Amino acid sequence: MNNNAFSVNESHLFDIQELGDNRGALAVVESMKNIPFDIKRVFYIYGTAKGIRRGFHAHHKTRQVLISVCGSCKVHLDNTKRKKEVLLDSPSVGLLLEPNDWHEMYDFSPDCVLLVMASELYQAEDYIRDYDQFIEVYGL
């Protein structure tokens, strides 16, 4: 896939095709096809306690795609210029997070399984966890 061919809407959301038949649904994610980077790491967040808000960071380099494969949650996005709230409640919708998207996830349903695909391996140094530092790095 040519990266330019990948398009997200105003809220960074994009559709993931459902390959359903009478047995049920199936969805596919593939590097450089419907995910605009080589997937190096996958993790998933589940069993999130009521009232929990998590994330609170941006990245230097890592791009991510989030899919709520079960249940729902909300994501607060802030790229220093615009803030948005996005609802993830479908396994056929992806949310693309660029490195400069400060993100916080909240309002997890008890059954929520939030799948995250990342363009980089885990490196604590790639995280910007201080909001003032985030503004210093990405503001202007």
In the complex, the residues that contact ligand TYD under the rule CB under 6 A are: 41, 43, 45, 54-55, 57, 122
Whether 59 is catalytic = no
Structure tokens that stand for 56 in this block: 């609170």
User: Of the two residues 110 and 122, which places its CB atom closer to ligand TYD in the complex?
Assistant: 122
- Which residue among 57, 60, 76, 103 is the active-site one? 57
Q: How far is the CB of 90 from ligand TYD (least distance, A)?
A: 20
118, 77 contact by CB (below 8 A) = no
Phi, psi of 2 (to 5 degrees): -75, 125
Q: How far is the CB of 89 from ligand TYD (least distance, A)?
A: 19
Q: How far apart are CA 62 and CA 80, in angstroms?
A: 17
Q: How far apart are CA 140 and CA 129, in angstroms?
A: 19
User: Of the two residues 41 and 74, which places its CB atom closer to ligand TYD in the complex?
Assistant: 41
* Residues catalogued as catalytic: 57
